[in-house]
Amino acid sequence: DAGVTQSPTHLIKTRGQQVTLRCSPISGHKSVSWYQQVLGQGPQFIFQYYEKEERGRGNFPDRFSARQFPNYSSELNVNALLLGDSALYLCASSLAPEGVGETQYFGPGTRLLVL
Amino acid sequence: AQSVSQHNHHVILSEAASLELGCNYSYGGTVNLFWYVQYPGQHLQLLLKYFSGDPLVKGIKGFEAEFIKSKFSFNLRKPSVQWSDTAEYFCAVNSNSGYALNFGKGTSLLVTP
C-alpha cells in the first residue's frame, strides 16, 4: 500500500513569495495533519483537518493556511514567506483525528528553503 | 504548559551496547505516548506507542519503552544496539482530548561499529 505522499520534495523560494505544498494521505485515512520541522528540532503542529474541516491549529501566524479536498488530500499554503519559514514540512495522515490508539503516519516531507 | 523533554540530544554508542533514551512530559489528564524514529534520508516511522494497559510496550526492531506515570516518563530502551539503529529518535505525546502530537526536540543516536 502506498504511504503518505507529498509534493514537491524540495522547493526554493524568496522572501515575500507564496508557496503551496501538497499531501495525499494513505488510502482510507480521512484526517491529515501538517507539521513544521526546523533543523535540530522536533516537528511542530500546524494544522489538522478531518472531513474537510479544520479541527485544530497550532501556534502559527495567519500567513499559514490549509484546506482538505473531497478525496482527503490536502494543501498547505504559506504567504509572505520569511527566512524563518525554511524548514521540512511534514504531512501525517490517520483514520480519524480522535480516539484512543489513533496513530499518525508521516510522509517524507517537503523541504522549503527561503532565500 | 504542555511540554515534552528529551534529555539526551546526542548519544554515541558502540555496537552491542545497551540503549536508554529519556523522555519526560508535562501534561494534564490521560496521555498517549509515542516514540518515532527517523533514519538518515527516510521519513518519520512509528517505533512503538502506549495508550493503556501494560506500561511496558514492545515495538519494532527490538525496542521497548516503559510508561512510569508517577514520574511522567516514557523511556526508550534496547538491550543491544546495531549500527543500523543510527537515527534521530523523537518522543511524542498527545492527550485523549487532543489530536496534535507534541514532540520533543529529538535525540541523535550514532552507533559505531
What backbone torsions phi and psi does residue B71 show, to the nearest 5 degrees?
-105, 0
* Cell reading at B83: 549500527
Alpha carbon distance A38, B9 (integer Å): 15
Distances (CA, A) of A7 to A21, A32, A111, B41: 6, 15, 10, 16
Beta bridge partners of A37: A88
Asked whether the beta carbons of residue A100 and residue B51 sit closer than 8 angstroms, the reply is yes
3-state helix, strand, coil in chain B (%, to 5): 10, 55, 40
Chain A nearest C-alpha distance from B105 (Å): 4
A85 pLDDT band, cuts 50/70/90, is very high
Interface of A with B in 74-93 (CB under 8 A): 90, 92
Q: Does B32 touch chain A (CB under 8 A)?
A: yes
Which residues, 6 or more positions from B53, have their beta carbon under 8 angstroms from its beta carbon? Answer: none
Residue B38 has pLDDT above 80, yes or no: yes
Nearest-by-Cβ selection for B44 from A44, A58, A90: A90
Residue B1 has pLDDT above 70, yes or no: no
* Cell reading at A104: 499518525
Q: Do residues B109 and B89 make contact, with C-beta atoms less than 8 angstroms apart?
A: yes
Segment A6-53, tens digit of pLDDT: 999 999 999 999 999 999 999 999 999 999 999 889 999 999 998 889
Alpha carbon distance B17, B83 (integer Å): 11
Q: Does B22 touch chain A (CB under 8 A)?
A: no
**CA torsion through residues B91, B37, B102, A102, sign:** negative
Residue A1 has pLDDT above 80, yes or no: no
Asked whether the beta carbons of residue B100 and residue A108 sit closer than 8 angstroms, the reply is no
Alpha carbon distance B64, B110 (integer Å): 19
Residue A100 has pLDDT above 60, yes or no: no
Q: Give the closest residue to A24 by CA, choosing from A56, A54, A69, A65.
A: A69
Q: Do residues A94 and A26 make contact, with C-beta atoms less than 8 angstroms apart?
A: no
Segment A20-31, tens digit of pLDDT: 999 999 999 999
From chain B, pick out residues whose CB is under 8 angstroms from the CB of A104: 101
Report the run of H or E that residue B94 belongs to, with start and end.
Answer: strand B87-95
